[in-house]
Structure 1
Amino acid sequence: MKNFLISIKLTLILIVICAGLYPLLVAGVGKMARGGGKGETVTVNGRVVGYANVGQKFTEDKYFWGRPSAVDYNAAGSAGSNKGPSNPDYLKTVQDRIDTFLVHNPGARKEDIPSEMVTASGSGLDPDISPASAYVQVKRVATVRRLSEERLRSLVDAHIEKPLLGMFGPSKVNVLKLNVALDELK
């Protein structure tokens, strides 16, 4: 009986800690984060156009494209393709993405395409691309928008986010923020 009462007490204490205090702590930290725990929204003229921490689908040539998504950017169903690098279906999908990229980016060569532009991530919701992925698209976007490539390179440079504390993670470009700034160019 003594062990039974101890196990009941321990269970109740762990329920309070794990199901009560810990979730409150996490919610409190989230409220202090940018966006108050609801994500970082991007607004244009007072209207929310998307979330900076979730990938968006851009397919028009006048915009920079993000990383492909295995779930078509559906945040409710975040997932990767679960196909290995030797899977014939996966290899065909990657080759199709390469072909599509080359058609839409004349002058680009296959070896110029960063792998992230033709492979989906584990989540399917990556909001960022590498600076190299943005630079390889500059010519296409500049041509469609009738802007100079130098001006677009400067815009990309201005939107490069450096690694945290200069050493944690890679440099990256948020595609939604870059495209919003692109639309604001005169």
Structure 2
Amino acid sequence: MGADRLPEVLDATYECLTRYGVRRTTMDDIASTMGVSRSAVYQYVRNKDDAFQRLAARLHERALERARRAAAARDVPYSERVRGVLAAKLDLALRLAGDSPHTAELLDEKDRRFGSLCATFGADLRGLLVGVFTEAGTADGVGAAEAADVCLALVVGLEDVPGARRLLAPAADALVSGLLGEERR
């Protein structure tokens, strides 16, 4: 296999995850999905756990990059920047929950393989939101970190609600309006 096949390994790992889950997926399953030998897969990942950790890292990093772009978009209103960060988190959760009952395992902060990755992702999102709220200013009595925590709690609450993507914009806009200082709305 060429040096550029790691993305294919991770795509195959995701496909196996959707079918079998983490525990039931084998390296043979990943290799078979790719149409290569098991030894070929070992050129890119050490073992099954490594494949799943790299997959989870890729998914979280893509969502985090989207959130970073939203937070850094200085040419849009603060509420839209916050909403963009929250949408990155919500879309990741909804995608993983929607693809298969097994894929949500990649979001489990208590899982030994993914827990620290998930916690870091959450902390990074919180940091982006704190930055936006610090820049914007918050309402009296509300700190930037508190505002970030409230917004993240909104997303967690929406993850299990039908129509969550549709509800995010009005819910986030109303919430952010109350969290921003009067002059920043």
Q: Specify if TM > 0.5.
A: no
- Higher strand share goes to which structure? 1
| Greater gyration radius | 1
- TM-score (structure 2 length as normaliser): 0.29
- Normalized per residue, the structure richer in helix is 2
